[in-house]
Amino acid sequence: MDEGRQLINGRYRLVEVIGQGGMGTVWRGHDEMLDREVAIKEVTLPPGLDDDERAELSTLALREARATARLNHPGIITIYDVIDDDGVPIIVMELLPGRSLADILKEEVRLPYRRVAEIGRAALEALREAHAAGVVHRDLKPANILISDRRIVITDFGVAQRVGERTDEPGDITGTPAFMAPEQAENAAASPAADLWALGATLFNATEGRPPYEGPDHATVLLTLLTQDPPAPVRAGPLAPVITALLRRDPERRLSAEEVADRFAEILREEPDGATARAAIPQRPAIAPAATEKPAVSEKPAAPSPPKTAGPARSDEDSPVRKVPPPHRNSDRDPRIPPVDALPHRPPPAVRPSRVLAITALVVLGLTVLYTGIHAGSGHSPASAPAATPSVPLGDPLPTESGPPTGGEPPDDPDGFDQTAFSPDGDAVVFGGSSEVVRVYDTATRRLRRSWKTDGEIQALTFSPDGRTVAAALDSGSVDTWDLATRHKHEYSGIDEVVDALGYSSDGRTLTAVGTNGHIAIWTVRTGRRVASTMPSGCLGTALSSDGYDVACGYYQSEGGGSGIFIWNAKENRQRTSWPGAEPDGMAFSPDGKTIVFSSTRDGRLELWDVASHTKTIELHSSWVAPDGLWTAPEGGLVFSPDGRTLAVTSTDSSADSSTDEDIIDIWEIPGAKKTSAFRLIDTPKTLALSPRGDMLVIAEGHGTLWNLPAQKQLASWTG
């Protein structure tokens, strides 16, 4: 069909294409007889099909029309007409302005649990209406939930069946593997329980940012679905038990529709938090311009932004010792770049036509037999999950072989020096990295005090304010702390993305982790209670204030949005101020949290701003100028000394007469804006830290080095 043709059936005019899917094309149309807008769905038949295959696809479309036409509910699209247009079924239905949940998640990645509960409740009511009429949807997923300002509607009953029906052939699996129930993948008779599984998978996708089952192709997804239990939701809050109960493999053990409705009602009766108590689909809070009459120093225009969203931070009572399933990460990539699994996932297309699925089913069957054969006689069934690794309970001492030893000289470890931090008294430094080992060295004797193995690669390190505890963010999905005196380990869960900043509050009562995707977790150290907050965007770089609540985030918006920096208060869940146009290469808070320093342009200029008044106080030109006049700007290594009087800045000499880039560290006295020293490094620093008095600098650069700043003398070099 095309817009230039005559009226369809003498009545319906095509206006424009508004959607395309596995079953065909949807047009915006106009009903000339009743003078109203309609949606017109044309089944697209692939070329090369024989008569039987064409008839099969046509039958699926007619099945959708017949199944949906029997239903009359505000949560289900209304069918107006069905037309046989030269052998191709045309379905005319109501046109509902809005977006699919899949499109929303493509932009938002994940939604607050309360909004997900609202969507789930509406979808459940529509499903109950269909089930009461004896119809099972069999392809519920985010792409088939349409959301407008007034309604939440289920669409596309293209693979719907009457309760108790099966597909014609054993290999004819219908539906979308990432969201279908295990029994549906095995071609069991259609039942409402399969739709409830799909609802659970959809809720999982909306809260976690990905479906419960993923893979590069349908065969892999189906094999995983048939042989593995779904992962536990970690972001769903009070929805987590509902999702878990809906994703039980045994349909007899799943929650009933009535039980799910009761759970939704309980969750939605709770006092809504400010971030989710809105009728519209929630967006990430917008990056708003600074709330001040003083313009930010920038020649770049600020990116247009919708009104910013405010509300109190969300709290949960997650146990601090609960293990989080390890997220998918590439540990070799730049930690400033958001991980791939943080990006929106497009749900796999529905598996059609059936002849293709018959082949897929055979592949899955073969893989399943292979899987079963491998595990035969081992005491494991195909559905068995690996045994969980025992974790150390909160407050229990570490096993002796895993705990910090009293000393010793371990072998060289080039992967163990990615992160570093000074103890508050300056007597010790700590290192960690992808080798999963924490090392604490004495700065006076230069000897190793302690070292121990962790449960994952180390993304960030810090000391507690009293110096008794070391905290590390691990890629296993937790933040672990170790008491250096008692060897007790505490494990805090709740942030399953790459951690870019980790720190205690100045009073030591809270511990904060900031992820590259813009999520913040704040734990009360004594109880493990967590407060969560979500920033307007993922961050190319972050800085954490000493109170543990203010987070500076450097962002870049594609398609002309530009770059900038904003400060987010995690306690109040709102933006404090922003600097549109600033470069997010590097930023740091002063120890008192009153000043922020960042690189503002690519000419090497650094600016120090008073956060409260949004006033620039100092401007530094930190780049090293080569003889030929080439410059380099800071690369992210900005760090204050604990007393706030010294600032270390890294940059790179890329001069034309140099065969390789050389890294430089400038040391500045603040206040006074006086550069006291500048020296070159052989290797690129990954992280650095200044001693409390500002007289020593420690660098993690594939090995660890300790420097005396006044003398510009290296005091120690550690490799293991």
Q: What is the pLDDT of residue 11?
A: 93
Describe the crossing of helices 113-132 and 192-208 by its angle, rounded to 10 degrees: 160
What CA–CA distance (Å, rounded) separates 260 from 597?
A: 50
Does residue 52 sit in the same domain as residue 111? no
CA nearest to 502, candidates 521, 527, 475: 521
Enzyme catalytic residues: 139
CA 283 to chain centre: 15
Domain match, 363 and 449 both: no
Q: What is the pLDDT of residue 634?
A: 42
Token readout for 500 is 């870019």
Strands (E) in 611-645, as ranges, are: 615-621, 638-640
Question: What distance in Å separates the CA atoms of residue 217 and residue 360, rounded to the nearest whole number?
Answer: 10
> Does residue 229 fall inside a structural domain?
yes
Q: What pTM does this model have?
A: 0.47
Q: Domain holding 84: CATH number?
A: 3.30.200.20
Q: Return averaged pLDDT per consecutive 10 residues of the chain, 720 residues in all.
A: 71 88 80 94 75 77 73 88 82 89 86 94 95 88 91 76 49 74 84 94 92 84 88 88 95 94 92 41 49 36 34 38 33 31 33 36 35 33 30 34 40 79 94 93 93 92 95 90 91 86 92 90 91 84 88 73 84 89 79 85 74 88 44 57 82 54 76 74 74 88 87 87
The verdict on 73 and 139 lying in the same domain is: no
576: part of which helix (H) or strand (E)?
A: strand 574-580
What is the Cα–Cα distance from 500 to 190, expressed in whole angstroms? 47
Burial class (CB in 10 A: 0-12, 13-18, 19+), 455: buried
Query: What per-residue confidence (pLDDT) applies to 694?
Result: 83
Predicted local confidence at residue 406, as pLDDT? 38
**In this structure, is residue 517 part of a structural domain?**
no
Residue 228 lies in a domain: yes
Are 228 and 333 contained in the same domain? yes
Specify whether 118 is located in the same domain as 28: no
- Distance separating alpha carbons of residues 392 and 322, to the nearest angstrom: 10
My answer on whether 193 and 118 are in the same domain is yes
Identify whether residues 336 and 480 lie together within a single domain: no
Is 384 a domain residue?
no
Q: What are phi and psi of 380, to 5 degrees?
A: -110, 135
Domain finish residue from 94, 112, 142: 94
Closest CA to 16 of 143, 8, 61, 25: 25
Q: Is residue 701 part of a domain?
A: yes
Region of residue 40 (left: phi > 0; alpha: psi -120 to 50; beta: else):
beta
CATH no. for residue 707?
Answer: 2.40.10.480
- Do 264 and 344 fall into the same domain? yes
357 and 413 co-located in one domain: no
Q: Could you tell me if 676 and 667 are in contact, meaning their C-beta atoms sit under 8 angstroms apart?
A: yes
Model pLDDT, residue 649: 82
The DSSP element (H or E) to which 41 belongs, if any, is strand 36-43
Q: Are residues 211 and 347 in the same domain?
A: yes
Residue 20, domain extent: 12-94
Output the CA–CA distances (angstroms, integers) from residue 545 to 143, 145, 650, 694, in the order listed: 41, 41, 20, 18
Tell which of 38, 64, 94 closes a domain: 94
Give the CATH number, domain containing residue 177.
Answer: 1.10.510.10
240 within domain boundaries: yes
Write down the residue that tokens 């109190």 correspond to.
312
Q: How far apart are CA 96 and CA 231, in angstroms?
A: 34
Give yes or no: residues 402 and 368 share one domain: no
**Does the residue 133 lie in any domain?**
yes
Q: Note whether 371 and 393 are same-domain residues.
A: no
Give phi and psi for 610, each to the nearest 5. Answer: -80, 120
The reply to whether 515 falls in a domain is no
Specify the pLDDT at position 25: 84
Beta-bridged to residue 554, according to DSSP, are 541, 565
Three-state DSSP at 190 gives: coil
Domain boundary among 94, 129, 164: 94
User: In the chain, how many domains are there?
Assistant: 3
Structure tokens at 302: 């600020």
Amino acid letter, 290: A
Q: What is residue 262's three-state secondary structure?
A: helix
